[in-house]
Amino acid sequence: MTNVKTAPYGSWKSPITSDLIVQAVIGLDGLAWDGDDLYWLESRPREAGRNVLMRRCADGTEEELIPAPYNVRTRVHEYGGGAWTVSDGIVYFSNFADNRLYIRDRDGTIRPLTDDSRLRYADGIVDKRRGWWIGVREDHTQSDIFAETTLVAVSLTGGPDRVLVSGNDFYSNPRLNPAGDRLAWLTWNHPNMPWDGTELWVADVTADGRLENAHRVAGGPGESVLQPVWSPDGVLYFVSDRSNWWNLYRLAEDGAVEAVHPLDAEFAGPPWVFGLSDYTFIDAHTIVCKYAQRGRDHLARIDLATGRLYPLPGEDTWFAHVRSNGRQMAYLAASPTTLRHLVVAGPDGSGRQVVKSAADVPVDARYFSRPVEVEFPTEGGKTAFAHYYPPTNPDFQAPDGEKPPLLVHVHGGPTSASPAVLSLTTQYWTSRGFAVVDVNYGGSTGYGREYRDRLKGQWGVVDVDDAVNAALYLVQRGLADGERLCIAGGSAGGYTTLAALTFRDVFKAGASHFGLSELEVFVHETHKFESRYMDSLLGPYPEAQSVYYNRSPIHFTDRLSCPIIFFQGLDDKIVPPNQAELMVEALRKKGLPVAYVAFPGEGHGFRKAENIKRSLDGEFYFYSRVFGFTPADDLEPVAIENL
């Protein structure tokens, strides 16, 4: 402790730099086994966010399968996911640049399977018996916002797509049983989102591929059914929130729905993307699954004969993409001290081996701030949840009596959640002397449907109240400086940020990353998947037009009294650039300090390394000017008007 320097919060020198973050970290996503070979997807900021499919062979060797310029990514629902599948060493994938399906043969040859770039594909499986790729097709031939979604079969030898199921607004999760003679899928219609209500259907598949005897087996407008999976012995399992919690169920021979292991916990999360897998079969008698309780994930094994659940030991607090080939299991995991990593283990969790990490970070763990779970009172006598990260740097301490600035982080979605795991972006702030709180406001997932439904009709109210009350709770406990409270978020979190800055007088600065400011514009200009989302969040349009108006920050800029910085991708189809530009112009005219950083070629969320770096450093620089501290780093300035 003799070398500890005394310096104001915000001015601490940190080894966790933006360069380290963008150079070191890769994205890990989507796993699949093909025999004893393991496949996964890597997103590389240094390659402009290109998604690369990797394979780890049984002997431990790794190879990149899809070279540049191919980008394994789909734009179905705009958020994508489920862009590839593999069968017998042959890979089938969507290429982001032209939306076409491609085949990578065993010898590495890549050839197109579809021709029309107006047709997008996702969530596919391979029907080897009939020589088909079966999956979701989104047809943009006539319109973007009214794109037609169907389940189709694409011949692996060429020819036109064959529509298998149509008529509803959305489809996902087509899954064949082991015998190949029954197909299950999910479907839903506007205005529902998949976490509001979906239907699980099953049909017989004839030898020539026709579907017969299609019927609904679970779900409805008020029940969210997710992730149907056939067991090795042909029993259909799925996740449903019929008990308030997303629990595991199975379909009995007589059509009855049976709970596998009832628990006040979430065994799945909201399907913003395709291709999720939160449970897997080791064999016909054993499931390995993840489940979430009180903001933390757990990994467990379920004995299907007894229904008993056995938690697997370990320090990880987040899990995703749980897969098995019967001999091994693989999954993605993270903890408060480790970034996302790919794990392979025995079917009982033994022999755990980390085979890939998002980064090898050369930083002493003493610089990492550990999350503290916080429950705090909010409006209506209710309780909300958050993860609080105190300022942490072994080289520095603050002057006596000084309290840290607090960054309130608002996750997107808004039906999402912030996990209590290591984020170098969060540590960027805490190691420089900021406190950070990730707010899982009412509407977040992981706390049951009742908590999730708090946001119904109350977006811009409940989320804002919870963000404000989280900050005030920490101020009251002496953990934050009430005069240096800032708030930031992306997408829906950007909207909550702008609403909090407009309709409340608590925060002194904020940052909107591709956030909404005018809700009616979003209704008319967004994509199909979310085009009716606001029916539940705000009310049907135009009947609830006054609600849209009254909760749009752009109409009430006269109430703003603090600086804001905006970051926006100019190719964003989900939150168009005019959402930021309208707000910037209003602040400019009012004479409030404002900065606007636009990124050509970026969509919804930033993928290019230089833009990730610019947005992180730019936000920190902005607060340094607003709160009057001197950063230890030599940061590229941001042009701030009216300062």
Q: Is residue 257 scored above 90 in pLDDT?
A: yes
> How many helical (H) and strand (E) elements, i.e. helices and strands, does the chain have?
10, 38
What integer pLDDT is reported at residue 221 of this predicted model? 93
97-115: pLDDT as tens digits: 999 999 999 999 999 999 9
pTM (two decimals): 0.94
Reduced 3-state DSSP string for 292-339: EECCEEEEEEEECCCCEEEECCCCCCEEEEEEECCCCEEEEEEECCEE
Q: Is residue 596 scored above 80 in pLDDT?
A: yes
Q: Report the alpha-carbon distance of residue 356 to residue 358 in Å, rounded.
A: 7
Quick one: which of 493, 471, 464 has its CA closest to 406? 471
Q: Report the alpha-carbon distance of residue 205 to residue 175 in Å, rounded.
A: 12
What integer pLDDT is reported at residue 24 of this predicted model? 66
What integer pLDDT is reported at residue 49 of this predicted model? 85
Ramachandran assignment for 35, one of left (phi > 0), alpha (psi -120 to 50 degrees), beta (any other): left
Q: How confident is the model at residue 582 (pLDDT cuts 50, 70, 90)?
A: confident
Strands (E) located in 177-295: 182-188, 199-205, 211-219, 225-230, 236-240, 247-251, 257-259, 279-283, 286-293
Q: Report the alpha-carbon distance of residue 246 to residue 320 in Å, rounded.
A: 15
Q: How many CB atoms lie within 10 A of CB 103?
A: 15
Quick one: which of 430, 448, 431, 429 has its CA closest to 440? 448
Q: Report the alpha-carbon distance of residue 1 to residue 518 in Å, rounded.
A: 51
The token pair that represents 395 in the structure block: 């080289």
Q: Is residue 1 scored above 60 in pLDDT?
A: no
45-79: pLDDT as tens digits: 888 889 999 999 999 999 999 999 999 999 999 99
Question: What average pLDDT score do residues 587-599 get?
Answer: 95
Q: Report the alpha-carbon distance of residue 482 to residue 631 in Å, rounded.
A: 20
What integer pLDDT is reported at residue 22 of this predicted model? 85
Return the CATH class of domain 363-627. Answer: alpha beta
What value does the CA radius of gyration of the chain take, rounded to a whole number of Å? 24
Q: How confident is the model at residue 604 (pLDDT cuts 50, 70, 90)?
A: confident
Q: Is residue 475 scored above 60 in pLDDT?
A: yes
Question: What average pLDDT score do residues 3-22 get?
Answer: 95
What integer pLDDT is reported at residue 573 of this predicted model? 79
371-385: pLDDT as tens digits: 999 999 999 999 999
Strands (E) located in 351-403: 353-357, 372-377, 383-389, 396-397
Question: What average pLDDT score do residues 574-584 get?
Answer: 87
Q: Is residue 584 scored above 80 in pLDDT?
A: yes
Q: Which of 347-351, 416-420, 464-468, 525-529 has the largest mean confidence?
A: 464-468
Find all residues with CB under 8 Å of 105, minimum gap 6, and list them.
90, 111
The token pair that represents 626 in the structure block: 């607003």
493-513: pLDDT as tens digits: 999 999 999 999 999 999 999
Provide the mean pLDDT of the chain: 95
CA distances from 396 to 116, 378, 430, 607 (A): 58, 34, 12, 32
Question: What average pLDDT score do residues 14-37 get?
Answer: 92
477-494: pLDDT as tens digits: 999 999 999 999 999 999
Q: Is residue 606 scored above 60 in pLDDT?
A: yes
Q: Report the alpha-carbon distance of residue 327 to residue 284 in Å, rounded.
A: 13
Quick one: which of 431, 322, 439 has its CA closest to 385? 439
| Contact by Cβ (8 Å): 352, 345 | yes
Return the residue matching tokens 């007088």.
Answer: 505
Q: Is residue 280 scored above 70 in pLDDT?
A: yes
What integer pLDDT is reported at residue 579 of this predicted model? 84
Q: How many CB atoms lie within 10 A of CB 621?
A: 19
406-438: pLDDT as tens digits: 999 999 989 999 999 999 999 999 999 999 999
| Contact by Cβ (8 Å): 333, 312 | no
Return the residue matching tokens 């829906």.
Answer: 492
111-150: pLDDT as tens digits: 999 999 999 999 999 999 999 999 999 999 998 778 999 9
What integer pLDDT is reported at residue 626 of this predicted model? 97
Domain-wise residue ranges, the chain: 363-627
215-255: pLDDT as tens digits: 999 999 999 999 999 999 999 999 999 999 999 999 999 99
Question: What average pLDDT score do residues 548-569 get?
Answer: 94
- Sign of dihedral through CA atoms 590, 594, 597, 602? negative
Question: Among 123-137, 297-311, 579-593, which stretch is predicted with the lowest mean pLDDT?
Answer: 579-593
